[in-house]
Structure 1
């Protein structure tokens, strides 16, 4: 048969799938409905089987991973309902749940799409055309209350059923299907310890029912909650004034990140959200925090419980750091005991005993993850948990699922398989970089390359507007942020370091790139010219390196400091005394700091570019015209002129410098420090001796 006779699957989304995606996006865009990447939605319908030409019943359901708010067709799994329902005949019980997830692959329709999630059975077996499973704070508050079943009946009457806690899987799907059949007037159910599920004959009806359950629960909590769900205020634990608490947070950030990175490096996020501060200012927060989170989506991202500093708000930074190390040792021992108590011979190896959430009274919350987004989302999940606990404690007593059940999910073989499917980390994953003078030219190229290789990047520049614009061009605020910084001002430099550690939890890689130049002869160079260039490049590099070194040492994770020096640090050219002298200063700072910081695992290296004309802020500011005049050529020919005087006859562009910065910061150069790398296409007079 010729290719012309084959039947192609339609490229346009199926109307049922399109309607499902729209509903999912609406529900997922509101955090009161479900947390990020939490929950799943589905729709049943018919489509033409391209093999038989006959109608076939299908289930479109959000697949494993992804987020409802941003769900697209690629995030859906499409399954044949007849084959999915037939799995009931081979289901061998809760001890064989993992096999059922593998069996879902044999029910798929077509190719492509997302892998079916553990919740697929819930959607396929429930006799309703449209099903929503969500994790709203209000619903989980009822689900985790000690008397959640009674509250469900009181709040919703017969419209919402109660389902006792059961680990997600095929049996839970059977349970919900049976409860719906037994309760024909029910529009949904509260899943004990977990969340809510709602259904409807149409997409609109399912969405209305989901929202009705969520809002009815929220309204009941607001009307009937105890006035102080977390107990009365705890003396001495009130929030510090904003400036003071953020200064304390910045002073603690390096130590806490080092603690959280003991087993594996992580990126951090800080928030002083009023909900965190209120929780930590209450008398009951130590008891409640020790109970941990309950919803699987929560503790998979936050660990079973946080590390909570048991000191009042006014405790000094030094006292807090000392206590943090003591509490960290206790936390690791406690987590190891939790693992040992529940692990079996088949359990995956322990994944790390460090906290992902650290709470500091009066200051706020530090959260951690494999990248900035994961760290931020972990914090958002703990905020969800605080909301859940507040609702449960306000109506009853917070009663999360047992540690045994938490362990069973945290170390589930399916969860382990999901982790193994994740893409290999990029070379600079978990590294936080600060690049000065990065709104344009060499600095921007460096920041762009570092971000592309997995780093979280802070772009510092004199102009806040330009720094933020450059950051936005690189990516979201989970990838790059822009800040204003005058590197010649000690206070401004410290503010830049503080902003960096509060944005991403710490600091690993510093690039001293900020610079300027005035091309003048000795007799024409004024004291002001000399001071300006030395203040920005020599003094500025010193100030940035000094403030950054404090963070790098406190973290105990090593790190890199890179100076963008110049071939002029070793090459003597005319009409360039102030610039070349300050570059020589920078070059020797590299050697001095390499010798001093090596014992802390900090590498210090330099890059010596030749004149970078294209995209350079320095050349655009008049330097290019002056250098062209010095050499007796037209300014537009300067790049070509520089290229022709090199051994390789190649012009140096900002990306060439960025490549060298990236290379020197990788593990391939883990044993290299105090080095200057020429990026000049070969200038014999600038060869290092």
Structure 2
């Protein structure tokens, strides 16, 4: 049963974390002190409940709380060995845990335990960080807040910062909180409601002051030719640039991307102070841990051509890597963690928008949100003073902090398809849906393309949030819609790695009953449709220079001759040879092209449910409900083929285990001797 104090803390945390003006995703922490019964002695024991390392306030649950004995935590002040041994104190927290302790205690635990207040909030609001990073922040604090908020000079999070805030609270009895220089805010209260109210008061008071006193153009005047392009033009340019940018930022390791043309981003990119402020980098530790200390900024006007932009981005990327290596070399010590890669995580393109990157879609999106926070912070600081982030050496100490490295090492091992982006056609149902489901389960970002937009979106929603999957409409016979679906993948996730040509239909008719319209329909959807999808996708795959996979869901009928099936089987043979042709052509770009030849998939198949099953059952003289069993009995293994069996083969083809396989057709037919490949 959740302790009432902990339950109250969770509710407050969720409210604060739900509003981005209060804190960024996974940023900040909250705490509450109270009593519970010691299960060993049966006596009351004073405890601290505090958000543990990692996690997010907006979605915090009981499992995300660290639970510590308050007497033992406070006793650590008596053995604190000083700043040079700061990191050792985090390990010492383990000796203060109550019971199993819950989540791992964070570096900010001391702030919460040592401050003499029942409830403490530590948050990273844009308005508060703007004051914290203003060159005149210390002088502005009493001007804005009076004696209710105290300035705390920059100090890296840790035990000493907790001691500092505890002392300041004692020395300033009227204070309800503090501005932490270069970092954020802390607020406290005797009740949960009071702490929450004090946090919100600091945030809103800072925001009101900035709004009232800010200079009209904190980022300077608009620069001609750097203004935002019209929406259609900037989206088209974003699509054109995204594959190249993703390839560049994946030099050390493949990353997923996210694109934003938020109005605040576009305004920042159009202003005279862009270069100066971007070079200063972010300040709040949560920001630059997600975004690196500085972004890569394309220094060309919005009107520059795509080719000019690509050429310049390549030059700037080379320089960025050299500069980042130099930054690492300037500050790395013998015991520093190894460099984590020299590629940028934020790429800013004037007139177009922001590309952000990470190991997965959520991380990429959140990196962009953090840089938007940083833009808001810079606007606030520049509006009332000048932006003065913490210095480079301090940034390095946090970015390559042993405790941050330990946190990274605790993260779960990536799934096999993490960082891969897939487009599956005809994926709202049947085989395509099974494929999309398997790819998403293995860590891929998935674009579900289907003729029916509502069904595509519903299928995507079943797989999770838009960080996992999106649904788009795509009639694969329509060149424009095919290109739009590829563009959607590029804008949603940064690029494309894996394409599954699955969309199809079937008409079971004899030669004499097959009309020209029947023939054209079959070939337009599967032969022409696969060609259009593969062509649009190949352009992205080639530009990224990251390799990739194109997989065709063909059929055993591509090699097996059966009755009353000429249009379907002929177009499947067309698809089968496309596999060989594209494997030969795209191999030099590292793109593998393979096919899968299933037997009839009855259960869960949209094709069979749409009338094909009844017609094939009539051909073989069996009831339609027994068609799957009939197909199974004619196989060597006597097993029915299901959509999941096809999905398994797709997964196998795009893993490292088959990294050297291309131009292959894999039978998934339980053994049909007449369809053996020769």
Q: Displacement, 1:475?
A: 1.1
| Match among 457, 481, 491 for residue 468 of structure 1 | 457
1:683 and 2:667 matched = no
Alignment partner of 1:481: what SS? strand
Partner of 2:371 in structure 1?
382
Contact 1:74–1:112 under 8 Å retained in 2: no
**Partner Cα separation in structure 2 for residue 575 and residue 252 of structure 1:** 48
Q: Displacement, 1:112?
A: 4.9
Q: Displacement, 1:153?
A: 1.1
1:422 and 2:408 matched = no
**Partner Cα separation in structure 1 for residue 519 and residue 409 of structure 2:** 56
**Partner Cα separation in structure 1 for residue 42 and residue 602 of structure 2:** 64
1:153 and 2:137 matched = no
CA RMSD of aligned residues (A): 0.5
**Partner Cα separation in structure 1 for residue 422 and residue 82 of structure 2:** 50
Q: Displacement, 1:358?
A: 0.4
Contact 1:189–1:197 under 8 Å retained in 2: yes
Point out where structure 2 has 5 or more consecutive residues left out of the alignment. none
Alignment partner of 1:540: what SS? helix
**Partner Cα separation in structure 1 for residue 41 and residue 345 of structure 2:** 52
Partner of 2:493 in structure 1?
504
1:34 and 2:23 matched = yes
| Match among 360, 363, 377 for residue 371 of structure 1 | 360
**Partner Cα separation in structure 2 for residue 114 and residue 530 of structure 1:** 62
**Partner Cα separation in structure 2 for residue 239 and residue 524 of structure 1:** 57
Alignment partner of 1:460: what SS? strand
| Match among 42, 45, 50 for residue 39 of structure 2 | 50
**Partner Cα separation in structure 2 for residue 47 and residue 279 of structure 1:** 51
Alignment partner of 1:109: what SS? strand
**Partner Cα separation in structure 2 for residue 44 and residue 167 of structure 1:** 24
1:21 and 2:14 matched = no
Q: Displacement, 1:651?
A: 0.4
**Partner Cα separation in structure 1 for residue 81 and residue 429 of structure 2:** 62
Alignment of 1:55-454 (within 5 A): 55-454=44-443
Alignment of 1:527-538 (within 5 A): 527-538=516-527
Contact 1:39–1:133 under 8 Å retained in 2: yes
**Partner Cα separation in structure 2 for residue 421 and residue 207 of structure 1:** 31
Alignment partner of 2:593: what SS? strand
Contact 2:68–2:101 under 8 Å retained in 1: no
Partner of 1:7 in structure 2?
none
Partner of 2:579 in structure 1?
590
Using the size of structure 1 for normalisation, the TM-score is 0.98
**Partner Cα separation in structure 2 for residue 203 and residue 418 of structure 1:** 29
1:609 and 2:609 matched = no
Q: Displacement, 1:574?
A: 0.4
Alignment partner of 1:354: what SS? coil
Contact 1:139–1:213 under 8 Å retained in 2: yes
Contact 1:359–1:366 under 8 Å retained in 2: yes
Runs of 4+ in 1 over 2 A off after TM superposition: none
Q: Deviations over 1:430-449 (max 9, x none)?
A: 00000000000000000000
Q: Displacement, 1:566?
A: 0.2
Q: Displacement, 1:254?
A: 0.5
Q: Deviations over 1:54-73 (max 9, x none)?
A: 11110000000000000000
Q: Deviations over 1:324-359 (max 9, x none)?
A: 000000100110110000001110110000000000
**Partner Cα separation in structure 1 for residue 146 and residue 156 of structure 2:** 25
1:555 and 2:544 matched = yes
Partner of 1:8 in structure 2?
none
**Partner Cα separation in structure 2 for residue 151 and residue 580 of structure 1:** 77
Alignment partner of 2:68: what SS? strand
**Partner Cα separation in structure 1 for residue 493 and residue 468 of structure 2:** 9
**Partner Cα separation in structure 2 for residue 506 and residue 113 of structure 1:** 39
**Partner Cα separation in structure 2 for residue 464 and residue 170 of structure 1:** 54
**Partner Cα separation in structure 2 for residue 632 and residue 80 of structure 1:** 75
**Partner Cα separation in structure 1 for residue 303 and residue 529 of structure 2:** 33
Alignment partner of 2:592: what SS? strand
Partner of 1:5 in structure 2?
none
Q: Deviations over 1:413-460 (max 9, x none)?
A: 000011111111110010000000000000000000000000000000
Alignment partner of 2:99: what SS? coil
Partner of 1:4 in structure 2?
none
1:455 and 2:444 matched = yes
Partner of 1:9 in structure 2?
none
Point out where structure 1 has 5 or more consecutive residues left out of the alignment. 1-11
Kindly tell me the number of residue pairs found equivalent between the two proteins.
678
Contact 2:257–2:358 under 8 Å retained in 1: yes
Alignment partner of 2:86: what SS? helix
**Partner Cα separation in structure 2 for residue 267 and residue 193 of structure 1:** 30
Alignment partner of 2:204: what SS? helix
Alignment partner of 2:210: what SS? helix
Contact 2:450–2:475 under 8 Å retained in 1: yes
**Partner Cα separation in structure 2 for residue 255 and residue 657 of structure 1:** 32
Q: Deviations over 1:152-171 (max 9, x none)?
A: 01000110000000000000
Contact 2:28–2:122 under 8 Å retained in 1: yes
**Partner Cα separation in structure 2 for residue 338 and residue 284 of structure 1:** 23
Q: Deviations over 1:557-598 (max 9, x none)?
A: 000000000000000000000100000000000001111111
Contact 1:104–1:116 under 8 Å retained in 2: yes
Q: Displacement, 1:503?
A: 0.5
Partner of 1:639 in structure 2?
628
Contact 1:293–1:385 under 8 Å retained in 2: yes
Contact 2:241–2:306 under 8 Å retained in 1: yes
Contact 2:67–2:101 under 8 Å retained in 1: no
Q: Deviations over 1:271-301 (max 9, x none)?
A: 1000000000101011101100000000000
**Partner Cα separation in structure 2 for residue 511 and residue 314 of structure 1:** 36
Using the size of structure 2 for normalisation, the TM-score is 1.00
